[in-house]
Structure 1
Amino acid sequence: MYELFKSKASAVGAEVHRVAGKKEALGFITSLLKEECAAELPGCRAIWAEGPFLEGIDRETLRNLPGLSFEVTRERAAQAKVGISEMSFAVADTGSLVQDQSAPADRLASSLTDIHIALVPSANIVPDKASVFTRISPKTSRYIAFITGPSRTADIERVLTIGVHGPQRLVILFVDELEGGRR
C-alpha cells in the first residue's frame, strides 16, 4: 500500500519518504531544517506539535537546532516556516493524510506554516476512507482533517496557486518503527 500511497500523494505535489526508525527520521528532519535555514527569526522558525513520536526523544539535542520550538501557539505558528506534526493515518487510494486535529497545536503546525512535515507510522497506511472510519469516528473526534498535497487554489480562469490557504510544501515521512501512533 505504501507504493500506491506514494504514487497518489506525489501526483498532487507531496513529497513522500520512508525511514526505518526514529533515529533516521530525526536525521531527515534535522537535515531539512538546516536546508530550509531554520533560525530564530520571524518567518524562519520551526514548530513541532506534541505527539507519540517525541516520547523517549532527547529534546535537549533538538532544542539546539536554531529556531525550533515545541511550544506551538498561534503567534509562533504565524512566524514559523516549518511545522511538524503527526498524522494518524494515510489513505492509499487518495494519497491523503488523516488526523484528529482536536488539539489546536496540530492544526496550527499543519496549516499555518509554509512547509508541513507530517510524520506517519508506516503501519497506519489504510486502503481507503472506509477503512479510516472503522478506526476513527466523527462522533468522538471533534475535528478530523484530511490533507491531500500542499494547499492549492485556482481562480475562475483556472490559474493555479500553491500555498495560499496552507503549506506550499508537504513532506510526508513514514516511520516503520512507530507502532500505531495517535488515534
Structure 2
Amino acid sequence: MYELFKTKASAVGAEVHRVGGKIEAVELIVSLLKDENVVDLPGCRAVWAEGTFLNGIDRGALKELPGLSFEVTRERAAQAKVGISEMSFAVADTGSLVQDQSAAADRLASSLTDIHIALVPSANIVPDKVSLFSRISPRTSRYIAFITGPSRTADIERVLTIGVHGPQRLVIIFVDGLEGVSR
C-alpha cells in the first residue's frame, strides 16, 4: 500500500519518504530544517506540534536547533516557515493524509506554515476511505482533516497557484516501528 500511496501523493506534488524508525525520522527532519535554513528569525522558524512521536525523543538536542519551537501558537505558526505534525492515517488510493485536528496546534502547524512535514506511522496506511472510516470513531474524532498534496487553488481563469491557502510544500515521512500509534 505504501507504493500506491507514494504514487498518488507524488502525483499531486507531495514528497514521500519512508524511514526505519524514530531516529532516522529525526535525522531526516533535522536535515530538512537545515536545508531550509531554519533559524530564529520571523519567517524562518519551525514549529513542532506535540504528539506521541515525541515520546522518548531527546528534545534537548532538538531544542539546540535555532528557530525550532515545540510551543505552537497562532503567532509562532504564522511566523514559521516549517510546521511539523503527526497524521493519524494515510489513504493509499487517494494519496491523502488524515488527521484528527481537534488540537489547535495540529491545525496551525499543518496549515499556516510554508512547508508542512507530516509524520505518519507506516502501519496506519489504509487502502481506501471505507477502511479508514471503519477505524475512526465520530465519538473520539471531532475534527477530521484530509490533506492531499500542497495547498492549491485555481481562479476563474483556471490558473493553478500553489500555497495560497496553506503550505506550498508537503513532505510526508512514514515511520516504521510505530505500530499501533494513532491520534
TM-score range, shorter chain: over 0.9
Displacement of 1:60: 0.4
Residue 68 (str. 1) matches residue 68 (str. 2): yes
Q: Which residue of 2 aligns with 1:154?
A: 154
SS in 2 for 1:172: strand
Q: Is the 8 A contact 1:81 1:113 kept in 2?
A: yes
SS in 2 for 1:145: strand
Q: Is the 8 A contact 1:51 1:182 kept in 2?
A: no
> Which amino acid in the other structure matches residue 50 of structure 2?
E
Query: What's the TM-score, normalizing by structure 1?
Result: 0.98
Q: Is the 8 A contact 1:120 1:175 kept in 2?
A: yes
Displacement of 1:137: 2.4
Displacement of 1:139: 4.0
> Which amino acid in the other structure matches residue 160 of structure 1?
L
> Which amino acid in the other structure matches residue 2 of structure 1?
Y
- Counterpart-to-counterpart distance in 1, 2:138 and 2:158: 33
Q: Is the 8 A contact 1:91 1:97 kept in 2?
A: yes
Q: Is the 8 A contact 1:114 1:163 kept in 2?
A: yes
> Which amino acid in the other structure matches residue 42 of structure 1?
P
- Counterpart-to-counterpart distance in 2, 1:85 and 1:180: 17
SS in 1 for 2:161: strand
Query: What's the TM-score, normalizing by structure 2?
Result: 0.98
Q: Which residue of 2 aligns with 1:6?
A: 6
Alignment of 1:27-176 (within 5 A): 27-176=27-176
Displacement of 1:179: 1.9
Larger mean CA deviation between 137-146 and 171-180 belongs to 137-146
> Which amino acid in the other structure matches residue 113 of structure 2?
T
Displacement of 1:141: 1.5
Displacement of 1:180: 2.4
Q: Which residue of 2 aligns with 1:15?
A: 15
SS in 2 for 1:142: coil
Unaligned runs of 5+ in 1: none
Q: Is the 8 A contact 1:85 1:118 kept in 2?
A: yes
**Between Structure 1 and Structure 2, how many residues are aligned?**
183
Q: Is the 8 A contact 1:44 1:79 kept in 2?
A: yes
